[in-house]
Amino acid sequence: MITFYNEQIQSFLDGMNRIQERQAQAQLELTTGLRINKVADAPDLISDLLAVRSGIAHNTQIGQNLASVKTETDTAESVISNAVTLVERAQSLGAQGASDMASAQTRQQLAQELGSVLTQLVNTANTTVGGRYIFGGDSDHTQPYTIDLTQANPMSAYAGTVATRQVELADGSTIAISRTAQDIFDSPDSASNVFMAITGLRTALLNNDSTAIAQSLADLNGADTHMNNMLSFYGSVQDRVGAAITFASQYDTQLRTQLSTIQDADETQSIIDLTQAQTQQQAALAAEGQIPRTSLFNFIA
């Protein structure tokens, strides 16, 4: 048996395979825009690539969470600001009722207005965003309060729970994002209990009790200070969330730049590689035509 083996032809075939592999790689990079399309393309960079991709996914989730929290805190700040105005309105009504010139009938009318103020504050305590009671603590699907002005104590007990929710920031820290309606309006500390102060003032006006009216006004001043502190809390959360959203956006840009550095193809270099491969292929084909051919007749001649 005679085996024909031409080292020049085998060398040509091996060279053509290498040229075609370079050509295919350059074409793939131009098509996908990536220089890493499979693990074998850069095994030493895969761990870095996966880490950056994971970082982008995590940061994206943080950004989405912050956007949701921003809607909640913006709403909370707005309604608490309105609640502060309502408390100030209650103070004004109480001051009118405390006047020696105020008749029992006038005080009855002022008490009715305070009932309206109290109802609006309860509505504030029951504010919802996206179907959630934002002041309900961790039981955010339970309405915190109900009110019945026909009762001596018109306010229900707080039906929510404590607030333990926090949001993660892009720098890895966390912040508390809410207070409960109980924290805001119905504090265990009577000196800052808004509902108690307004209910007490309303009762004093209904009873035409000047001494009780004066005491309730003093309590209401403490409640007003407390409400302004709650407003400051939500203003601070707004600022931190806004800054965190900006940071997350900037960090996303940084991560994506890092990802691009790792995986993106150099388009110019890929074009050069493709052109060179095509040129080499043409040259190799031309050279292949010059390789001497050996046949059976060369052996039997």
CATH architecture for segment(s) 64-259: Up-down Bundle (1.20)
The pair of structure tokens assigned to 198 is: 């307004």
**Cα 70 to Cα 176, 191, 243, distances in angstroms:** 13, 31, 11
Q: Is the pLDDT of residue 125 over 60?
A: yes
> What distance in Å separates the CA atoms of residue 204 and residue 221, rounded to the nearest whole number?
16
Mean pLDDT of 226-249: 94
pLDDT tens-digit map of 72-116:
999 999 999 999 999 999 999 999 999 989 999 999 999 999 999
Residue holding tokens 């693990």?
39
Q: How far apart, in Å, are the Cα atoms of 71 and each of 183, 217, 250, 265?
A: 21, 35, 20, 40
Q: Tell me if 160 sits within 8 A of 180, measured CB to CB.
A: yes
Find where tokens 């004066």 sit: 214
Better pLDDT: 286 or 162: 162
Surface-to-core class of residue 217, CB atoms within 10 Å of its CB (0-12 exposed, 13-18 middle, 19+ buried): buried
Confidence of residue 291 (pLDDT cuts 50, 70, 90): low
pLDDT computed for residue 2 by the predictor: 47
Mean pLDDT score, 202-227: 95
Question: Which residue(s) pair with 166 in the sheet?
Answer: 176
Give the three-class secondary structure for 132: strand
Read off the pLDDT of each residue in 258-270 and give the average, rounded to a whole number: 69
Supply the pLDDT for residue 172: 85
CB 161 within 8 Å of CB 238: no
* Residue 34, pLDDT score: 65
Model confidence over 164-198: pLDDT tens digits? Answer: 989 998 888 898 999 999 999 999 998 899 999 99
Q: Which residue has the tokens 């995590």?
A: 58
Q: At residue 206, what are phi and psi to the nearest 5 degrees?
A: -60, -35
Average pLDDT, the chain: 84
Q: Quick one: DSSP state of residue 191? A: G
Higher pLDDT, 144 or 33: 144
The answer to whether the beta carbons of residues 82 and 125 sit under 8 Å apart is: no
Lowest mean pLDDT among 130-144, 150-164, 278-292: 278-292
Q: Closest by alpha carbon to 220, among 247, 195, 197, 252?
A: 197
Residues 160 and 138: their CA atoms lie apart, in Å, by 7
pLDDT at 84: 97
Nearest-CA neighbor of 200 among 230, 155, 159, 160?
Answer: 155
Looking at the predicted structure, is the pLDDT value of residue 241 above 60? yes
13-72: per-residue pLDDT in tens? 555 566 666 655 656 655 666 666 666 766 877 888 889 999 999 999 999 999 999 999
C-alpha to C-alpha distance for 230 and 196, rounded to whole angstroms: 17
- Provide the token pair at 178: 């809410």
Residue-range domain boundaries for the chain: 64-259
- Mean pLDDT, residues 144-161: 95
Comparing C-alpha atoms, which of 179, 140, 175, 165 is closest to residue 245? 175
User: What is the percentage of the chain residues whose pLDDT exceeds 90?
Assistant: 61
* pLDDT value of residue 271: 61
pLDDT the model gives residue 82: 97
- Please state, in angstroms and rounded to a whole number, the distance separating the CA atoms of residues 95 and 106: 12
Cα(107)–Cα(113) distance, integer angstroms: 10
262 pLDDT higher than 60: yes
Distance from C-alpha of 158 to C-alpha of 83, rounded to nearest angstrom = 18
pLDDT at 1: 45
Predicted confidence at residue 24, as pLDDT, reads 59
CB atoms within 10 A of CB 89: 16
Query: What's residue 44's pLDDT?
Result: 78
